[in-house]
Chains A and B, each alone.
Chain A
Amino acid sequence: MAVRQTELRPLGKSVGRKEDPRFIRGKGRYLDDISLPGMLYMCLVRSPYAHARIKSIDTSAALQAPGVKLVITGEDLAAMNLAWMPTMANDQQMVLATGKVLFQYQEVAAVIAETREQAEDAAQLVYVEYEPLPVVVDPFKALESDAPILREDREQKSNLIFHWEAGDKEATEELFRNAPVVVKQDVRFPRVHPSPLEPCGCIADYNSATGKLTWYVTSQAPHAHRTVLSLVSGLPEHQIRVISPDVGGGFGNKVPVYPGYVCAIVASLKLGKPVKWIETRTENTTSTGFARDYHMTAEIAAEEDGRVLALRVKTIADHGAFDAAADPSKFPAGLFSIVTGSYDFKEAFVEVDGVYTNKAPGGVAYRCSFRVTEAAYLIERVMDVLARRVGVDPAELRRRNFIRKEQFPYKSPTGWTYDSGDYEKTLALALEKIGYEQLRKEQAEKRARGELMGIGISTFTEVVGAGPSHTFDIMGIKMFDSAQIRVHPTGKVIARLGVRHQGQGHETTFAQIIAEELGLSTDDVIVEEGDTDTAPYGLGTYASRSTPTAGGAAALCARRIREKAKKIAAHLLEVGEDDVVFDGVGFSAKGLASRTVTMKDIAFAAYTNVPEGMEPGLEATYYYDPPNLTFPHGAYIAVVDIDKGTGAVKVRRFLAVDDCGTVINPMIVEGQVHGGLTEGFAIAFMQDIPFDEDGNCLATNWMDYLVPTALDTPKWETDRTVTPSPHHPIGAKGVGESPNVGSPAAFVNAVVDALAPLGVEHIDMPIYPWKVWKILREHGVTE
């Protein structure tokens, strides 16, 4: 049950969400709710081919269609030097295709008309003459010497984008040479899509009288988008205002800049009118940032008792036609080197080769800190392979290999410094709560009867909160974050942050942090995000970074205000500053609890009665550059039963025990965990974006790309341990992505465990019933 927003000392309490009254009543203001006078609509013409030369584009019929104001092609953009735009991964991407197209549904032309219907109809009249070229959809084939070169614009005439390594190769090889046990497993993480409920879109509104561009956009990172836009277009940055209204889910999908955005802006600049573009579901699924698509091979060297020595990982990463992965600049494979996970490996060596193929670009961090999901899935899956090989229970094998509590801060063999953790405690709670031993007994009985039941464990470690400026930047912009707090004379507070929530509950969570620091209640604080004209500069919300970065900024900013408040309190209490104590609700004179002033008294005094020589007012700004990342962890356990007749997997129970350090609002954390688990469940059992050999995308809508409903979704059980981050101002670590990172391995481990009596060691996701059914049939379990 949620507590009221008027509660004092709100930190750690399930305060009811400030956002809910508007969202529950359908009063959110999303992009499509915004309508400006004289607004035009844009529709994009997309390529039916995955790889083809463009011989000609004829726009004359479209231009004559009713209501059409403008048609833009790649050539028009080239004349403005906008045919290509930079990606976050230091590559470049075509805005509208020039010369050739490289993936099906690539943007070829933009049609702007008075109504959406007119724009859609006229888009059909843009005649493009294509000459099909050989298509490469398999990243392994893309690396063969006779493969067609996809990116003719690049100097390097190969489909290899990058080769990246981490760890000590020699030392790792040495341990492998002498290891008593070596296991090896190929693991594929399929191409999936974040699929936010609201697709991407924008309204570009250029005012030719003032020269100011207001850009409403579904953005997880409005400030970063403003800077990129300024750098790409040459528009002065102070003449650009980016507004990210309520966002209906982002999940990493609303971090990149998409061609449609640029076209809408160009159209508004040319026509001097607002231009709206909102993509369809199919456009979202087929052309915007996908996630994963990693072909991984992991080897573990271990002792006979299952104690791990070294880890070796080779990965082929399919990035599609342009490397538009959302990664900090120095990390072409993101934070994939967290792949040693929760285990004390002596050495590790990780390699990733990024490859171009004729598929949509992306590789965004879908509820993930840049490839952490792939890493966590891989290590958790392969630890189970090792457990089976050495004949040790998977829970016991994990316990044997955990980094121990006293080893923190722990330096991993790939160079990360884990801040804190207590893996044994979290696993112990999970095993106890699910009744592990009892479940294993039940499983043994069922196996004796020929029934298929499985238990899967995932004890993952996360790396979130990018990040410290010494290592983390995106296109040169350091990845700190910010908060600005202004206390009004009546003690009411407006706070603005550089991040941008998409449903995570920032308006409540950050209000709780600030209220806690200032001795106020949550309803005294309004949190605003998403308008670059008012909010301080920040890098946005993704990768579970808001609480580790902006949450830290909010706490430290509030403490700055408290410092000044203390001086004013001393003045009001007529005592020395050193004699003032703050008890979380008010300031009093030491030893005189009866003489108390509240933050409201102080706020009024800040504008009416400050001590001599003090600057009036009560506000502060804080840019927080975190000293390190934070490392949340968790222990997840799935229990599944498999129907022998159909191969359908039923998730009977699922328990997620998370440790994200200090919890600000348990209800919101639980909500985030529920959502992420539902996504992890979908990834494990339902989702994949396949392509045929011609590069046709075969999952273009929610009929083919399945999104789970309440009917499909298991009941989630959750619990928590708390191991605060030693370096974060309030000890919080961030949790949003943990369930998506940690759960796929638990599901797959459970299914493989159920099928272990048949000799099954691994199944690639998604685990469709027919996949399981085929295995059952091969083993004569079913007809």
Chain B
Amino acid sequence: MRTYQGEFAIELPRQTVWEFIMDPHRVGPCVPDLLKLDVESETRFRTLVRVGVGPVRGKFDMMVEVSVIEPQVSAELSVRGGGMGSRVDMKAKVTLGDTESGGTKLDWRCDAAISGPIASLGGRMIDNEARKITEKLFANLREALSSVSEQVAATSAETVEPETTD
């Protein structure tokens, strides 16, 4: 079991951030190296991602389920899946708080259990790789949220030029 965590602040009201992370269509694309996204319901989506750890390279098929712990405050994403004979079981908890400037602070903590040949790469590289993937996920989320705040800003300035981020 490995634990990774981080936090960032975003200049958006908590309600907006909350709605964003509750929307599989918007959170799904934040998954790094995404090959395919298949939204099954409001709380479930399936992703196909490209993974490469040292000599092991292939695709992981992951099922993500979002559950609300406390509305507007915290939610849990459980990620289960795998490929190449390996498995990933991840629980990510996201907690929202207010910043003094009226924005939102987002704390995240992720517990990952990795099993199979990928885990056997042990201390050598899996740790870094898993950390990288997790951090990238939340970096992408932050970026996507930033684009929302830009859109919000743009909308309020009545110039409609949505930017895409990927």
Residues of chain A having any CB pair with chain B under 8 Å = 45-46, 48-50, 104, 123-124, 130, 132, 282, 286, 692-701, 704
Contact between A693 and B122, CB atoms less than 8 A apart = no
Say which residue of B86, B87, B115, B120 sits within 8 Å of A698 (CB atoms): B120
Instruction: Kindly provide the distance from the CB of A368 to the nearest chain B CB, expressed in whole angstroms.
Output: 27
Closest-by-CB residue of A relative to B84 is: A124
Closest-by-CB residue of B relative to A282 is: B117
How many residues of chain B get a CB closer than 8 Å to chain A's CBs? Answer: 19
C-alpha gap A46/B87 in the complex (Å): 11
Contact between A704 and B1, CB atoms less than 8 A apart = no
Contact between A696 and B120, CB atoms less than 8 A apart = yes
Instruction: Kindly provide the distance from the CB of B76 to the nearest chain A CB, expressed in whole angstroms.
Output: 17
Q: Which B residues are CB-close (under 8 A) to A45?
A: 85
Say which residue of A49, A286, A699 sits within 8 Å of B115 (CB atoms): A49
Q: Which A residues are CB-close (under 8 A) to B124?
A: 704
19 contacts between A and B (CB under 8 A): A48-B116, A48-B117, A48-B119, A49-B115, A50-B115, A104-B116, A124-B83, A124-B85, A130-B87, A132-B113, A282-B117, A282-B120, A692-B119, A696-B114, A696-B119, A696-B120, A698-B122, A699-B120, A700-B117
Closest-by-CB residue of A relative to B61 is: A127
Among A48, A286, A699, find the residue whose CB has the most chain B CB atoms closer than 10 A.
Answer: A48
Contact between A704 and B115, CB atoms less than 8 A apart = no
Closest CB pairs A-B (n = 10): A48-B116, A696-B119, A48-B115, A700-B120, A48-B87, A698-B122, A49-B115, A48-B86, A694-B113, A697-B120
Closest-by-CB residue of B relative to A130 is: B87
C-alpha gap A642/B86 in the complex (Å): 41
Which residues of chain B from 71 to 101 have any CB-CB distance to chain A below 8 Å in the complex? 82-87, 89
Closest-by-CB residue of A relative to B87 is: A48
Instruction: Kindly provide the distance from the CB of B39 to the nearest chain A CB, expressed in whole angstroms.
Output: 20
Known: A693-B1, A696-B115. 20 other contacts (CB 8 A): A45-B85, A48-B119, A49-B87, A49-B116, A104-B115, A123-B85, A124-B84, A132-B89, A132-B115, A282-B117, A282-B120, A694-B1, A695-B115, A696-B120, A696-B122, A698-B120, A698-B122, A700-B120, A704-B120, A704-B124
Q: Which B residues are CB-close (under 8 A) to A104?
A: 115-116
Closest-by-CB residue of A relative to B58 is: A124
Q: Which B residues are CB-close (under 8 A) to A700?
A: 117, 120
Contact between A692 and B86, CB atoms less than 8 A apart = no
C-alpha gap A46/B89 in the complex (Å): 17
Q: Which A residues are CB-close (under 8 A) to B58?
A: 124
Residues 1-26 of B, flagged 1 when their CB comes within 8 A of A and 0 if not, give 10000000000000000000000000
Contact between B119 and A694, CB atoms less than 8 A apart = yes
Q: Which A residues are CB-close (under 8 A) to B120?
A: 282, 286, 696-701, 704
Contact between B122 and A692, CB atoms less than 8 A apart = yes
C-alpha gap A7/B113 in the complex (Å): 65
Instruction: Kindly provide the distance from the CB of B35 to the nearest chain A CB, expressed in whole angstroms.
Output: 15
Instruction: Kindly provide the distance from the CB of B25 to the nearest chain A CB, expressed in whole angstroms.
Output: 25
Q: Which A residues are CB-close (under 8 A) to B85?
A: 45-46, 48, 123-124
Kindly count the residue-residue contacts between A and B in the assembled complex, taking CB atoms under 8 Å apart: 53
Residues of chain B having any CB pair with chain A under 8 Å = 1, 58, 82-87, 89, 113-117, 119-120, 122-124
C-alpha gap A694/B119 in the complex (Å): 10
Contact between A48 and B82, CB atoms less than 8 A apart = yes
C-alpha gap A117/B27 in the complex (Å): 37
C-alpha gap A49/B119 in the complex (Å): 10
Closest-by-CB residue of B relative to A50 is: B115
Among B58, B86, B89, B122, find the residue whose CB has the most chain A CB atoms closer than 10 A.
Answer: B122
Q: Which A residues are CB-close (under 8 A) to B86?
A: 48
Closest-by-CB residue of B relative to A697 is: B120
C-alpha gap A748/B123 in the complex (Å): 27
C-alpha gap A132/B89 in the complex (Å): 9
Q: Which A residues are CB-close (under 8 A) to B89?
A: 132
Contact between A704 and B122, CB atoms less than 8 A apart = yes
Q: Which A residues are CB-close (under 8 A) to B123?
A: 698
Instruction: Kindly provide the distance from the CB of A330 to the nearest chain B CB, expressed in whole angstroms.
Output: 37
Q: Which A residues are CB-close (under 8 A) to B117?
A: 48, 282, 700
Q: Which A residues are CB-close (under 8 A) to B115?
A: 48-50, 104, 132, 694-696
Closest-by-CB residue of B relative to A49 is: B115
C-alpha gap A692/B115 in the complex (Å): 10
C-alpha gap A282/B120 in the complex (Å): 10
Instruction: Kindly provide the distance from the CB of B151 to the nearest chain A CB, expressed in whole angstroms.
Output: 39
C-alpha gap A124/B82 in the complex (Å): 10
Instruction: Kindly provide the distance from the CB of B56 to the nearest chain A CB, expressed in whole angstroms.
Output: 11
Instruction: Kindly provide the distance from the CB of B54 to the nearest chain A CB, expressed in whole angstroms.
Output: 9
Q: Which A residues are CB-close (under 8 A) to B119?
A: 48, 692, 694, 696
Q: Which A residues are CB-close (under 8 A) to B122?
A: 692, 696, 698, 704
C-alpha gap A84/B32 in the complex (Å): 42
Q: Which A residues are CB-close (under 8 A) to B82?
A: 48
Q: Which B residues are CB-close (under 8 A) to A282?
A: 117, 120
C-alpha gap A123/B82 in the complex (Å): 13
Instruction: Kindly provide the distance from the CB of B91 to the nearest chain A CB, expressed in whole angstroms.
Output: 12
Instruction: Kindly provide the distance from the CB of A119 to the nearest chain B CB, expressed in whole angstroms.
Output: 14
C-alpha gap A701/B55 in the complex (Å): 12
C-alpha gap A693/B122 in the complex (Å): 12
Instruction: Kindly provide the distance from the CB of A705 to the nearest chain B CB, expressed in whole angstroms.
Output: 10
Q: Which B residues are CB-close (under 8 A) to A699?
A: 120
Q: Which B residues are CB-close (under 8 A) to A701?
A: 120
Instruction: Kindly provide the distance from the CB of B114 to the nearest chain A CB, expressed in whole angstroms.
Output: 8
Q: Which B residues are CB-close (under 8 A) to A696?
A: 114-116, 119-120, 122
Instruction: Kindly provide the distance from the CB of A46 to the nearest chain B CB, expressed in whole angstroms.
Output: 6
Instruction: Kindly provide the distance from the CB of A138 to the nearest chain B CB, expressed in whole angstroms.
Output: 16
C-alpha gap A104/B115 in the complex (Å): 8
Among B89, B119, B123, find the residue whose CB has the most chain A CB atoms closer than 10 A.
Answer: B119
C-alpha gap A49/B114 in the complex (Å): 9
C-alpha gap A123/B8 in the complex (Å): 42
Instruction: Kindly provide the distance from the CB of B165 to the nearest chain A CB, expressed in whole angstroms.
Output: 32
Closest-by-CB residue of A relative to B116 is: A48
C-alpha gap A123/B83 in the complex (Å): 10
Q: Which A residues are CB-close (under 8 A) to B1?
A: 693-694
Closest-by-CB residue of A relative to B86 is: A48
Q: Which B residues are CB-close (under 8 A) to A694?
A: 1, 113, 115, 119
Closest-by-CB residue of A relative to B115 is: A48
Instruction: Kindly provide the distance from the CB of B124 to the nearest chain A CB, expressed in whole angstroms.
Output: 8
C-alpha gap A694/B114 in the complex (Å): 9
Instruction: Kindly provide the distance from the CB of A65 to the nearest chain B CB, expressed in whole angstroms.
Output: 15
C-alpha gap A696/B127 in the complex (Å): 14
Q: Which B residues are CB-close (under 8 A) to A132?
A: 89, 113, 115
Q: Which B residues are CB-close (under 8 A) to A50?
A: 115
Q: Which A residues are CB-close (under 8 A) to B113?
A: 132, 694
Q: Which B residues are CB-close (under 8 A) to A49?
A: 87, 115-116
C-alpha gap A18/B140 in the complex (Å): 67
C-alpha gap A749/B46 in the complex (Å): 57
C-alpha gap A634/B72 in the complex (Å): 75
Q: Which B residues are CB-close (under 8 A) to A46?
A: 85
C-alpha gap A693/B113 in the complex (Å): 10
C-alpha gap A45/B115 in the complex (Å): 14
Instruction: Kindly provide the distance from the CB of B60 to the nearest chain A CB, expressed in whole angstroms.
Output: 11
Q: Which B residues are CB-close (under 8 A) to A692?
A: 119, 122
C-alpha gap A694/B2 in the complex (Å): 11
